[in-house]
Amino acid sequence: MRSLSNIFWLGTKELRSLFGDVVLIGLVIYSFTVAVISQAQSNSQELYHASIAVVDEDSSELSRRIIGAFLLPYFQPPVHITQAQIEPVMNSGRFTFVLDIPPNFERDVLAGHRPALQVNVDATAMVQAGLGSGYILQIIDTEIDWFLARAQTTPLSPVNLVTRIAFNPNVTTSWFESVMGIISSVTMLAIILAGAALVREREHGTMEHLLVMPLSPFEIAMSKIWANGLVIAAAVVIALYLVVQLVLGVPIAGSIPLFMVGVVLYLFFGTAVGLFLGTIARSMPQLGLLYILVAVPMNMLSGGATPVEAQPQWLSTIMKASPSTHFVSVAQAILYRGAGFDVVWQHFIAIAGIGALFLTLTIWRFRAAVTATGA
């Protein structure tokens, strides 16, 4: 009871301190608006405005139809170039795709000679190159089929594949990136706000003051966890409703309250890590440098940027132990796939467990760390 009261009163002070820090509040607002929106509108997950050039040596109706089939928003209007320009424009990276339609292409197609058509792809433009070459194959195939279909009927394949995409039928980047943006902001802020709260008290000497009073490190740590967690959790709710749903127009399939349970657990973990880093760093800049080394891998490898399946085995094994990976899974399951508690409870336990581990480490290091600077 005594302890709860201490945690509560220390936390109220924490809230007042946080709202007094213009830089940190600015960071919170930035992270849940500009950062989320710019990430959502990056189109990095889909084929969007890919640059394509064509060398049309045929100048036939078929070649024109093929060229005319590359449409926005997938492709920018194709630009005509000459054979000699292929090498330079690809070297400079001006075009990701260059289509080379050979002379007499239409005639050879009609004659059934299966003429060759070459698509040059800049394989260093990673996402676009992979997705775009698939689209291009399909577009050309379809156009040729349509062209031939006027002359004769082409038979339907004996076996046909119908693919449908669940949860995000038009594979829109913003559906995915908006929520991933929120997650990376949560990771960033949880670590920074809690870490900064600890370092700030150390720099101002108030932490020593607290430790001389009848307060335990657990109470001091918990007060920072709940106060900073509360601010971030509130910001997440606002961002989900205002930024994600209203501004970006992303539909949310699952239960936001259940997702918030996950957020709260993850905040417990994130703030505990922040406090732990705060016990290691001796100054704000050191905290910032440590943050970069810890949070960047946690964010980039959690499955929020590129698929976890694409990592080497050893790395994905390590990352499966990271709560950020669990949290990304939880968010995707709940918000996109509408999953319920039965699906995510194991992730919840993992996140809370690792959070508790960091809290223990923090408390263990607390006293030594706080006084070490005063020398």
Partner 1 sequence: MSDAAPPVAVIRNVTQRYRDVTALADISIELPSGCVVGLIGPDGVGKSSLLSILAGARAIQDGQVMVLGADMADRRARSRVCPRIAYMPQGLGKNLYPDLSVRENIEFFARLFGQSRDEREWRIAELLQSTGLADFADRPAKKLSGGMKQKLGLCCSLIHDPDLLILDEPTTGVDPLSRRQFWDLIDRLRARSAGKMSVVVATAYMEEAERFDWLIAMNDGRILATGSPAELRVQTGATSIEDAFVALLPQAADQDQAEMPARTVLDGSHEPVIVARELTRQFGDFTAVDRVSFSIRKGEIFGFVGSHGCGKTTTMKMLTGLLPPSDGEALIFGRTMEAGNYESRRRVGYMSQSFSLYGELTVRQNLVLHARLFHLPPDQADKRIAELVERCDLADHIDGLASDLPLGIRQRLSLAVAIVHKPDLLILDEPTSGVDPVARNQFWRLLIELSRNDGMTIFVSTHFMNEAARCDRLSLMHDGRVLATDTPDGLIKAKNARSLEQAFIAFLEQDAGVDDGAPVTLTQADPNRAALPRADDDGQRALFSSRRLLAYTIREGLELVRDPIRLLFALFGTAFLMIVIGFGISTDVNNLTFAALDHDQTPESRAYLAELRGSRYFTERPPLADYADLERRMKNGDIKASIEIPPNFGMDIKRGRPAFVSAWIDGSMPFRAETIRGYLEGTHILYLSDPAVKTTQASAASAADITIRFKYNQSFDSIYAMVPTTIALMLALFPAILMALAVVREKELGSITNLYVTPVTRLEFLLGKQLPYVAVALVNFAVMFVMALWLFRVSFKGSMLPLLLGTVVYVFTTTGYGMLISTFCRTQIAALFGTAILTVLPATQFSGMMVPVSSLSGFAQLIGMGFPMTYFRPITVGTFTKGLGFADLGPYVLMLLAFIPVLTTLSLVLLPKQEQ
Of positions 84, 114, 150, 153, contacts partner 1 by CB under 8 A: 114
Give the binding range for partner 1 (CB under 8 A) out of 91-99, 228-236, 259-267, 268-276: 91-99
Of positions 63, 96, 279, 325, contacts partner 1 by CB under 8 A: 96
259 contributes a contact to partner 1 by CB under 8 A: no
- Between 162 and 181, how does the x/- string for binding to partner 1 read (CB under 8 A)? xxxxxxxx-xxx-xx-----
Of 208-227, which residues contact partner 1 (CB under 8 A)? 208-209, 211-216
Q: Which is closer to partner 1, CB of 67 or CB of 117?
A: 117
Q: Which is closer to partner 1, CB of 47 or CB of 359?
A: 47
Of 283-322, which residues contact partner 1 (CB under 8 A)? 283-289, 292-293, 296-297, 300-301, 303, 305-307, 309-312, 315, 319
CB of 371 to partner 1, least distance (A): 5
Q: Which is closer to partner 1, CB of 86 or CB of 352?
A: 86
Q: Supply φ then ψ for residue 73, to 5 degrees.
A: -85, 0
Interface with partner 1 (CB under 8 A), residue total 140
Q: Which is closer to partner 1, CB of 21 or CB of 57?
A: 21
CB of 76 to partner 1, least distance (A): 7
Of 49-88, which residues contact partner 1 (CB under 8 A)? 49-51, 76, 88
Residues 311 and 319: beta-carbon distance below 8 Å: yes
Place of tokens 């223990």: 360
Of positions 4, 29, 71, 123, contacts partner 1 by CB under 8 A: 123
Of positions 4, 107, 364, 367, contacts partner 1 by CB under 8 A: 367
Task: Please enumerate in sequence order all residues whose Cβ is within 8 A of that of 78, keeping only pairs 6 or more positions apart, or say none.
Answer: 52, 53, 54, 67, 70, 99
Of 323-362, which residues contact partner 1 (CB under 8 A)? 329, 332-333, 336-339, 343-344
Nearest to 230 by CA among 176, 283, 186, 278: 186
257 contributes a contact to partner 1 by CB under 8 A: no
CB of 78 to partner 1, least distance (A): 13
Of positions 133, 245, 255, 360, contacts partner 1 by CB under 8 A: 133
Give the DSSP letter string of 311-348.
S-HHHHHHHTTSHHHHHHHHHIIIIIT---HHHHHHHH
233 contributes a contact to partner 1 by CB under 8 A: no
Is residue 114 packed enough to be buried (19+ CB in 10 Å), middle (13-18) or exposed (0-12)? exposed
CB of 284 to partner 1, least distance (A): 4
CB of 375 to partner 1, least distance (A): 5
149 contributes a contact to partner 1 by CB under 8 A: no
Give the DSSP letter string of 252-270.
--S-HHHHHHHHHHHHHHH
CB of 186 to partner 1, least distance (A): 16
Q: How far apart are the first and last CA of the chain?
A: 36
Helix axes 217-238, 256-280, angle to 10 degrees: 140
53: helix, strand or coil: strand
Of positions 42, 85, 245, 360, contacts partner 1 by CB under 8 A: 42
CA distance 324 to 330: 10
251 contributes a contact to partner 1 by CB under 8 A: no
HSE toward the beta carbon, residue 351, CA cutoff 13 A: 26
Supply 330's token pair: 């939880």
Of positions 54, 81, 136, 193, contacts partner 1 by CB under 8 A: 136
Residues 46 and 261: beta-carbon distance below 8 Å: no
How many other β-carbons are positioned within 10 Å of the β-carbon of residue 167?
14
Is residue 157 packed enough to be buried (19+ CB in 10 Å), middle (13-18) or exposed (0-12)? exposed
Of positions 67, 119, 247, 357, contacts partner 1 by CB under 8 A: 119
CA distance 203 to 200: 5
Say which DSSP state 307 is in: -
CB of 81 to partner 1, least distance (A): 14
